[in-house]
Amino acid sequence: MNKDNFVKSTETLKQTVPLMIKHKVPTTPANYALWYTYVSQESPLLNQAIDGEIASQGQCTPTACEQLYHQHIASKAVQDISQLKQSLTLMMQEVSHSMTDTLTETESFQLNLNKGFTQLESAEREGLSLEETLGLVRGLIKESRNIQLSTGAFKSQLNTAQQEIASLREALHESQKEANEDALTHLFNRRAFDRDIDSLQQKSLPFALIMLDIDKFKIFNDTYGHQLGDQVIKAVSRRLKESCREQMQAYRYGGEEFAIILMNRNHSSARQHAETLRRSIEKISVLDRRNGERINTITASFGIAERNRTENAEEVIRRADQFLNDAKKLGRNRVLPIS
């Protein structure tokens, strides 16, 4: 590393850690790599994504950091995943064998080429006939064609390997996306929820929580079948995603239960949002393709809680979940507490 690069790296380092502390980002190796790249401005797309996340959410959550790391940083390096390692190992073994074969043939060609040139140089001295000279030239042409075929095959195999690496990288990106994303709804999953809400607690940031559950979903599944049940879950998930504005994030908490974290919002704001969402879910209509019947009886119950300074994340979840259960006991399709 030359002096200029060293000075630049030092300046980037001096800016990276304070910036992470400012945004309360855990100083893990992955997060450090992410924010070091952000400060260095080496990836405009990464900077745009982080700036957008901070503008919309007020922070860069652990889930967002992980996704951005895998999308912009880790995708450029070899990942420690057994299937990927195995695929790459097998592929490189095959390429290595081809390279060995090609090098062997190249060495043989070089020997024959040197031999041919030596013979041609001595042709004039020894008085070789035209036919004998042409024979030497034909031999060199034949050797050239053989090595051309060999190197051509090797080049083709390298191109194939490059395509396979691109496919593996795409598969890797999808697998890491699935780690935080629910496959059916494409909302963030329970793993992402647990990490994000714990992060808010550790940073002592204010937030409100909405827990909601589709009413009588088991009866609905038993009556209409799981395929229509999945349609309902996806329809509710779309309403959640569409309803989330800045500093709000929706999650599939499990089964037919969902959660929304509202960062820097209070109880009143959470209740208003939940009530709007409740009315929106009432309007959902799904078609039962088996008999053409349209189902218009979908509702959900809601429980909300605002974190106070003395509560941890588990206590906030417990309070919101208790209000959700109370809403179900009081007849469902309502938001609790009322005030």
Instruction: Establish whether 178 is a catalytic residue.
Output: no
Name residues whose C-beta falls within 8 Å of residue 91's C-beta, 6 or more positions apart in sequence. 161, 164, 165
Cα 60 to Cα 52: distance, rounded to the nearest angstrom: 9
> Looking at 53, 66, 256, 306, which residue is catalytic?
256
Cα 128 to Cα 36: distance, rounded to the nearest angstrom: 71
- State the residue for tokens 């088996």: 290
Q: Tens of pLDDT along the chain (339 residues)?
A: 555 666 677 787 778 888 888 888 887 878 888 888 898 888 888 999 999 888 888 888 888 888 888 888 775 444 444 455 555 555 555 555 555 555 555 556 556 555 655 655 565 556 555 565 556 566 655 655 565 555 555 455 555 555 655 665 565 555 555 678 898 999 999 999 999 999 998 888 899 999 999 999 998 888 888 889 999 999 999 999 999 988 899 999 999 999 999 999 999 999 999 999 999 999 999 988 888 888 899 999 999 999 988 889 999 999 999 999 999 999 999 999 987
**pTM (predicted TM-score):** 0.62
Q: Is the dihedral of CA 57, 61, 67, 70 positive or negative?
A: positive
3-class DSSP assignment, residue 296: coil
Over residues 215-230, the pLDDT tens digits come to 999 988 888 888 899 9
Over residues 47-69, the pLDDT tens digits come to 999 998 888 888 888 888 888 88
Amino acid identity of residue 172, one-letter, is: L
> Which tokens is 235 given?
């329809």
